[in-house]
């Protein structure tokens, strides 16, 4: 093969690589978003953060399907890592890559905190029957569940700000969504600050839910843009 032929083939294949990675990342983002939606719909009947040990035990004993299905769906949550990695890799300017890096670190913390939430639920689901006679243990596990959930909202706030700034610079999301990310992150941070009250059944989950909706909208809209694989010129973030 001649050098000219090799160069020609390289030029021919390179433009397709971003499109392929963009579609993969977009698909991963939509899988993650779908997982979040289904997961939250199924958990609608789950006990609140301030629920008593008896309420928690009753749920995991008598609502096996509602407890088990989300735990299985959580496996697909790792798709968010593909989505975030693509945004970071697509960032061309130093400023945009910095914001994408902030979002990636926030996502890593999301994975860590949600891992604690999931492990706690696995224990409660697997041992609910035997734990019925140990309300103190159930109470401690549920408090840990709530604490990890509260800290997870702060991580979502960081991820939302970082990734939305990077995505806006790459024109993957509309300007209104980039602006909405700021008050949404403020709601998430506020709810996270009051994690102790949240664990005791305070109303701060409702505040965080506002920010969570914007986070979900961001993932969906950015994923659709990635699926379209339309290369854009970055703007100042």
* Residue range of the domain that includes 140: 13-228
Instruction: Report yes or no on 237 lying in a domain.
Output: no
Instruction: Report yes or no on 214 lying in a domain.
Output: yes
CA distance 131 to 127: 6
pLDDT per residue over 111-161, tens digit each? Answer: 999 999 999 999 999 999 999 999 999 999 999 999 999 999 999 999 999
Work out the number of other CB atoms within 10 angstroms of the CB of residue 234.
16
Instruction: Report yes or no on 8 lying in a domain.
Output: no
Q: Identify the weakest region by mean pLDDT among 56-60, 71-75, 160-164, 175-179.
A: 71-75
CA distance 112 to 106: 10
Q: Does the predicted model carry a pTM greater than 0.85?
A: yes
Instruction: Report yes or no on 6 lying in a domain.
Output: no
Instruction: Report yes or no on 156 lying in a domain.
Output: yes
pLDDT per residue over 198-218, tens digit each? Answer: 999 988 999 999 999 999 999
What pLDDT is attached to residue 18? Answer: 55
Of 235, 84, 85, nearest to 170 (Cα)? Answer: 235
Instruction: Report yes or no on 100 lying in a domain.
Output: yes
At residue 235, the 3 state secondary structure works out as coil
Structure tokens at 177: 């969504």
């Amino acid at each position: 093969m001649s050098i000219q032929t090799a160069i020609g083939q390289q030029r021919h294949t390179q433009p397709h690589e971003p499109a392929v990675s963009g579609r993969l990342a977009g698909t991963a983002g939509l899988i993650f978003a779908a997982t979040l939606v289904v997961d939250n719909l199924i958990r609608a009947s789950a006990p609140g953060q301030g629920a008593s040990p008896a309420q928690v035990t009753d749920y995991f004993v008598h609502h096996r399907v509602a407890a088990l299905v989300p735990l299985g769906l959580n496996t697909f949550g790792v798709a968010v890592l593909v989505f975030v990695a693509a945004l970071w890799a697509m960032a061309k300017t130093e400023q945009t890559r910095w914001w994408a890096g902030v979002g990636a670190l926030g996502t890593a913390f999301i994975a860590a905190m949600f891992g604690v939430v999931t492990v706690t639920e696995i224990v409660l689901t697997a041992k609910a029957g035997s734990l019925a006679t140990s309300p103190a243990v159930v109470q401690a596990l549920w408090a840990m569940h709530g604490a990890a959930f509260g800290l997870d909202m702060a991580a979502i706030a960081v991820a939302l700000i970082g990734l939305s700034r990077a995505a806006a610079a790459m024109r993957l999301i509309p300007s209104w969504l980039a602006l909405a990310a700021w008050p949404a992150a403020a709601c998430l941070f506020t709810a996270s600050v009051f994690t102790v009250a949240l664990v005791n059944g305070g109303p701060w989950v409702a505040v965080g839910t506002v920010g969570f909706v914007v986070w979900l909208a961001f993932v969906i809209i950015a994923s659709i843009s990635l699926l379209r694989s339309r290369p854009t010129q970055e703007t100042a973030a």
